């Protein structure tokens, strides 16, 4: 079963704009992770936020977590055409357990 | 260093045949996961290996699916009597006892 639900399902923006993707989940978690997938193949880990953290930054990425609302957002600033990909949130209810993925957001960045 | 590798990258098989998919995790990674991704969907957990512990098979969709792992090395996922609904990308991931998972490029399975 899928726990995370990303919103929107698809997003199209111009290069240079910011992209915001949201994720909601259902049960308590240990951590939440965001992954990027190009061309429907291997996933690349972007960032992890633990349940006791509220915000985390990595380069042009900013992730927030609101455990009271069971939601997270991923912000990509100053987007580039190379950011075009599908983005998935995944939750873990403890360390080293299988991740539960959402269906993803397909981001298209138009040059 | 070398990442997670999977073979074959693509597999086309006839309905009813058995297939074996292989995953080579990153050396030293104790945990290994198999996921399935249907077209346009997220990843579904299939099975999880952690060291020498009994695997977590709770995600396997039917008894046609099985997987093995030798120690902390190669894993094979076997699907017997394949069905068209088995068509998907099968992804393997490994992790060195941390939270971040490192994914292979996947095997795209097409059952005709």
pLDDT at site B1: 57
For the record, the structure tokens of A40 come out as: 């429907």
Please tell me if residue B99 touches chain A, with a CB cutoff of 8 Å: yes
pLDDT for B41-68, tens place per residue?
A: 889 999 999 988 899 999 999 999 999 9
**Mean pLDDT score, A21-42:** 90
pLDDT at position A3 = 60
Residue A1's pLDDT is 45
Distance CA B104, CA A91 (A): 19
Whether the link from the prior residue into B40 is cis, omega within 30° of 0, is no
**Reading across the β-sheet that carries A55-58, which strands appear in turn?**
A5-7, A19-24, A71-76, A61-66, A55-58
Q: Do the Cβ atoms of A20 and A27 come closer than 8 Å?
A: no
Identify all chain A residues contacting B4, using CB atoms and an 8 Å cutoff.
Answer: 42
Residue of B nearest to A36 (CA): B103
Q: Measured between CB atoms, does A71 come within 8 Å of chain B? A: no
- Looking at the DSSP bridge assignments, the partners of residue B77 are B21, B67
**Average pLDDT of chain A to the nearest whole number:** 91
d(C-alpha A91, C-alpha A6), whole Å: 12
Query: B18 vs chain A: nearest CA distance in angstroms?
Result: 23
Q: What are the Cα distances from residue A78, in Å, to A38, A88, A94? A: 19, 20, 33
Report pLDDT digits (tens) over B71-94.
888 999 999 999 999 999 999 999
The reported pLDDT for the residue numbered B2 is 82
What is the percent of chain A where pLDDT is above 70?
94
Q: Residue A13, exposed/middle/buried by CB under 10 A (0-12, 13-18, 19+)?
A: middle
Per-position DSSP letters for B25-40, written without gaps between them: PPTT--EEEEEEE-TT
């Amino acid at each position: 079963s899928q726990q995370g639900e990303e919103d929107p399902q698809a997003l199209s923006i111009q290069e240079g704009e910011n992209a915001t993707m949201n994720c909601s989940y259902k049960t308590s978690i240990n951590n939440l992770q965001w992954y990027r997938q190009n061309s429907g193949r291997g996933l690349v880990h972007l960032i992890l936020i633990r349940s006791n953290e509220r915000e985390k930054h990595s380069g042009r990425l900013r992730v927030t977590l609101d455990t009271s609302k069971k939601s997270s957002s991923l912000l990509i600033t100053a987007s580039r055409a190379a950011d075009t990909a599908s983005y998935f949130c995944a939750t873990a209810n403890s360390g080293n357990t299988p991740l539960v993925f959402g269906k993803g957001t397909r981001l298209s960045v138009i040059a | 260093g070398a990442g997670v590798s999977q073979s074959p990258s693509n597999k086309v098989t006839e309905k009813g045949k058995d297939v074996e998919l292989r995953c080579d995790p990153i050396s030293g990674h104790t945990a290994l996961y198999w996921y399935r991704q249907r077209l346009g969907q997220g990843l579904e957990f299939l099975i999880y290996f952690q060291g020498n512990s009994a695997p977590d098979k709770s995600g396997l969709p039917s008894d046609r699916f099985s997987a093995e792992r030798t120690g902390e090395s190669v894993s094979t996922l076997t699907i017997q009597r394949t069905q068209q609904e088995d068509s998907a990308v099968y992804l393997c991931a490994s992790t060195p006892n941390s939270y971040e998972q490192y994914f292979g490029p996947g095997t795209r399975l097409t059952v005709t």
